[in-house]
Structure 1
Amino acid sequence: MTETLVQDPIATYVGGREFKMLIGGEFVDAADGAEIEVFDPSTGAALTRVPSAGAADVERAVAAAQAAQPAWEALGVAGRSACFARFDELLTEHRERLAMLDAIDCGNPVKAMRIDVDICHAYVRGWPSLAAAMTGDVIPASPGNLHYTAHRPYGVVGRITAFNHPLMFAATRPLPSLITGNTLVMKPSPDTSLSTLALAELFHEAFPPGVVNIVSGGGDAGDALVTHPVVKRIAFTGSVPTGLLIQRRAAESGHVKQLSLELGGKNAMVVFPDVDLDEVVEGAIYGMNLDVCQGQSCGSNSRVLVHRRIYDQFVAKMADRLGEYRVGVAYEESTDVGPLVSRAHYDRVAGFVESGVAEGATLVRGGDRPGDAPEGGNFIVPALFADVRPEMKIGREEIFGPVVSVFPWDDYDAMIEQANGLDLGLTASVWTHDLDVAHKTADRLDAGYVWVNDSTRHYFGTPFGGSKNSGTGREESPDELLSYLEQKVVHTRLRDPQAALARMLG
C-alpha cells in the first residue's frame, strides 16, 4: 500500500484536532475538565491536550458498557463478527493517520507504525473464526445422564494498554473480550493516548454505542477501573510493579476478579558456535525491536549469551551493523530508530548506560545522543555492552530501551542457569543448526514463548505469555478467548424412556 506523504505531519494530524474520550457512544471531555499535556518525544515541544479521566468518568463508562452488554451478547458471534469486519475496513482507510499519530506521540518510527496497523488485520479477522469454532464439552460423568459445559461472558471488561505499541494494542488486545460478548472500558497509557483516542472514532462507527468505551488518564482512572465492582475481568499490559499494584488493588476492592497480566521481560538469546554469524547478528538486532520501538518492548532479547568461540566476532559484527542505523525524528521517512517515549524514561535508560560503565562493562558503541537530532528529543544511540556479568544492573534488570548486553559462555549448564536466573521469563530464543541442541535447550529455558533461529515474531493462534513475574494468562490464542468467558456445567438426570412413555400415556 502506498502512503500519501505530507509536509507537516503534526499540523496535519494533530493541529486543530480534538481528542476526546468515548463513553456511551458520545465523545466527551473529563467531567471535571482535567487534561494531560502531550509532548512530542522527537522535539520536546508541546503538541496538544487530552482528557484526564477521574472516577466519575470511569463510572459513566462502566455504566454505559453494562447497559450495552445484553444486546451485544444477544447478537451472537455472527452479528458481532459483522462489526469486526467493518472495523477491519476502517483500519485500512485510516492507516496513515493512525501510524503517524503513534510516530508523533510515542516516538516509534512511522515506517514501523504502518506495519503495526497492518498487523492488526490478522487479529481482527482471526478472532471471529476462533470464536465461531468454540465448543463446549459433553462429559461422561455418570451412566445414562447428560453432563455438558457452557460459557457466558463476564459482562464488562477493563483493559489497560501499554505505551510502546499504542495503536496496535488498542486495536487488537480488546478483541477476544468483544467477540465473546463482553463490553469494554479501555484506558491507554497517559504517555501515549492520541492514536487510541483517534481509534475511538473507528470503534464508534463499527460497534453499537456503549460496547467500546475509551477513557484517557493516569493512575486515578486506572485505579477506579481496577476496583470497580461491576468489572470482574481485567487485562493489563505493562510493567511488573504496576501489575503487582493492580493485583493488590483488585484484591483490596472486596470483589473477586479475574486478571491477566502481560508484564516485563529480560529475555535471553542463546547463541551456539555453529551459527552463521551474519544471520545471528541480524537476528539479535531484529529481536531487540530497535527499528520498531527503540527496544521498548517486553519481548526484546536484551541479554545475548554467545559461545566464547565466536564471542569476539559476534560483538564486532554487531557493533558495525548497529552503526548503520539512523537515529532521528520518528515521523521522518529516513529514520530507523526514534526517540524514547518521555523525558523521564530517557533519564532512566541513560542511568542504566551510566551504571553499565561504572560497573565495568565495556561500552562497545552507542549510549550517547546523536549529534544531528533535535536537542529537545529523547534520543539515545543504541548501546552495545560487552563483558557484562550477570550481577551487573544492566545484566539483570529490565531496561526497556536500546541497550544490549552480550555475555560470553562456554559451559552449557552454567549458561542455562544464567539464562533462567532472573525472576522474569517472558521469551527466549535459541540459535543453532543442531536439532538436538535446539529442542533440548528450548525445553530447559524457563520462558513462556521460545523461538528457534528466530525471535520477536508472533503467530496468531499460539499462546503468548510468560512465566514467573512476566505475568499470568496467555494471549492471541483459544486460551485467551476462553479467559473472557465464565464456564458453567449443566447436569441433567435422564430417566428410563419406557417408564417416561408409560407416564405420558397414563
Structure 2
Amino acid sequence: MLTTTLPGQISPDALDIPADCRQPRLDERRYLVGGELREWNGPTREVVSPLYVDGEPYVIGSCPALTEAESLEAVAAVERAWDNGRGVWPTMRVEDRIAHVEDFAQRMTAVRDQVVRLMVWEICKPLEDCRAEFDRTVAYLRATVDALKDLDRASSRFVIESGIYAQIRRAPLGPVLCMGPFNYPLNETFTTLIPALIMGNPVIVKTPRIGKLLYAPLLEAFAQAFPPGVVNILFGDRRVAIPALSSGRISVLAFIGSSRAADALRRNHPLPHRLRCVLGLDAKNAAIVLPCADMGLTVAEAVTGALTFNGQRCTALKIFYVHASRMEEFLSRCGEAI
C-alpha cells in the first residue's frame, strides 16, 4: 500500500519494502584513528532518509559527531604513519602495498549488500545505480592496482637524456585529506583515496555530509587491511576537516565539490602554497545539438543525461546548445519525454 501524507506526497508502507532493500536502524558509535576502532561516547548525529515510510521521515541510524580533538588525533596518526617519508607505509615495497589494497578489496566486497542498502536510503539513489556505483568502485580499485604495476615496470628502466643516465621513481607526497561529494559518496571519494594510498601516502577520510553512514560497514575492512594510521575515517561536518588543515601537517587536499568550498578549505592551511590540491569542481557539462541530429536519439540521451538521479551527477548535462532550426522540435519532444 501507499500512504499519503502531505498533499502530493506519497510514501510506502514498511511491509511493502522489498526484502533486499530493507535496512534496520544502524547506530554507529565507532570511528577509525591510528588503526584503532575507537568507541565514541559523545553526541551523535541522526541520519534521516529523504524517503518517507508509513508517512513519516525514515531514520536510518546515527553516527558520531566528532570534534576538533578527534581531527587532531587523526592528524597525529597520519603524521606517525608518514614519519617524514620514513614510515612503514611510504617505504613499503610496491608489491606489498598492492597486497594490502587487494586484501581491502576482498573485505570490501564482502559487505557490498550492506553498503549498497545504506547508500539507497541515505542519498535516495535507485538500488541498481547504487549497485553500479559499488561495483564500479571495486573495478576502479583493481584498475588502479594494474596502473601502478605498469608504472613500476616503466620506472625500473633507465632513460638517457643529454648523455645522462637516470632512473625516475615516483615518491609519496605526505599526509592526505580526502573529502568526497554526496552524490557519489563512495566512488568519488575512492577515486582520490585509492591512488593516494597505493602510492604510499597515509590518508584521513572525512566522510561526506550526506552519505556517511555507508562507511560504517567498511571501518573493520580498513582497520584490518592497512597498517596503523595509514587510513583514518572521521565522521562529521566541515568543522572536522578544518582543524586538520589548520594544523599545517596535511600535505595534500583531495576535494570534490564547489570552488567556493574548496577556496574556503584551502585558506585554513597556514601554508596554502605548499598544500597540493587535487580538486574536482563545478562541472557544467554541455550538449550540442546540430542540424543533422537524429532527434529521437538526441532527446533520449538528453533526458537521461540531464535527469538521471535527478540530475545530481557531476557529468549531468546542464547546458544545451541547440541549432535554431531544430530548437522547437527539440523542446517539444523533450517535454513529452520528460
% identity of equivalent residues: 27
1:307 aligns with 2:326: no
Aligned AA (2:311): G
Aligned AA (1:99): V
1:158 aligns with 2:168: no
Structure-2 residue corresponding to 1:263: 281
Displacement of 1:148: 4.9
- Preserved contact between residue 102 and residue 113 of structure 1 (Cα < 8 Å): yes
- Preserved contact between residue 98 and residue 198 of structure 1 (Cα < 8 Å): yes
Structure-2 residue corresponding to 1:230: 249
- Structure 2: which 5+ residue stretches go unaligned? 1-17
Q: How far apart, CA to CA, are the structure 2 residues paired with 1:148 and 1:118? A: 37
Matched residues, number:
309
Q: How far apart, CA to CA, are the structure 1 residues paired with 2:273 and 2:330? A: 53
1:206-263 alpha-carbon deviations (Å, 9 max, x no partner): 223321111011121111122232211111011121011123223x457721111111
Q: How far apart, CA to CA, are the structure 1 residues paired with 2:130 and 2:26? A: 23
Judging changes above 3 Å, is the alpha-carbon distance between structure 1 residues 255 and 269 closer, same or farther for their aligned structure 2 residues?
A: closer
Structure-1 residue corresponding to 2:266: 247
1:284 aligns with 2:293: no
Equivalent residues in 2 for 1:137-156 (5 A)? 138=159, 140-141=161-162, 143=163, 146-156=165-175
1:20 to 23, 30, 52: 30
Equivalent residues in 2 for 1:47-196 (5 A)? 47-69=60-82, 70-134=87-151, 135-136=154-155, 138=159, 140-141=161-162, 143=163, 146-196=165-215
Q: How far apart, CA to CA, are the structure 2 residues paired with 1:126 and 1:152? A: 20
Aligned AA (1:284): A
- Structure 1: which 5+ residue stretches go unaligned? 323-506
1:58-110 alpha-carbon deviations (Å, 9 max, x no partner): 12112222323421223322111112222222333222211111111111112
Q: How far apart, CA to CA, are the structure 1 residues paired with 2:193 and 2:97? A: 13
Aligned AA (1:301): L
- Preserved contact between residue 193 and residue 216 of structure 1 (Cα < 8 Å): yes
1:36 aligns with 2:48: no
Judging changes above 3 Å, is the alpha-carbon distance between structure 1 residues 263 and 29 closer, same or farther for their aligned structure 2 residues?
A: farther
- Preserved contact between residue 29 and residue 51 of structure 1 (Cα < 8 Å): no
Aligned AA (1:60): E
- Preserved contact between residue 21 and residue 117 of structure 2 (Cα < 8 Å): no
Structure-1 residue corresponding to 2:335: 319
Q: How far apart, CA to CA, are the structure 2 residues paired with 1:75 and 1:123? A: 22
Q: How far apart, CA to CA, are the structure 1 residues paired with 2:208 and 2:138? A: 23
2:314 to 283, 298, 308: 298
- Preserved contact between residue 46 and residue 59 of structure 2 (Cα < 8 Å): yes
Judging changes above 3 Å, is the alpha-carbon distance between structure 1 residues 34 and 254 closer, same or farther for their aligned structure 2 residues?
A: farther
Q: How far apart, CA to CA, are the structure 2 residues paired with 1:164 and 1:316? A: 30
Aligned AA (2:305): G
Q: How far apart, CA to CA, are the structure 1 residues paired with 2:332 and 2:278? A: 41
Judging changes above 3 Å, is the alpha-carbon distance between structure 1 residues 75 and 307 closer, same or farther for their aligned structure 2 residues?
A: same
SS at match of 2:227: coil
Displacement of 1:166: 1.1
Displacement of 1:140: 2.6
Aligned AA (1:111): E
SS at match of 1:56: helix
Q: Which has the higher helix share?
A: 2
Displacement of 1:19: 4.9
Displacement of 1:295: 1.0
Q: How far apart, CA to CA, are the structure 1 residues paired with 2:29 and 2:132? A: 23
SS at match of 2:317: coil
Whose Rg is larger? 1
Q: How far apart, CA to CA, are the structure 2 residues paired with 1:263 and 1:167? A: 17
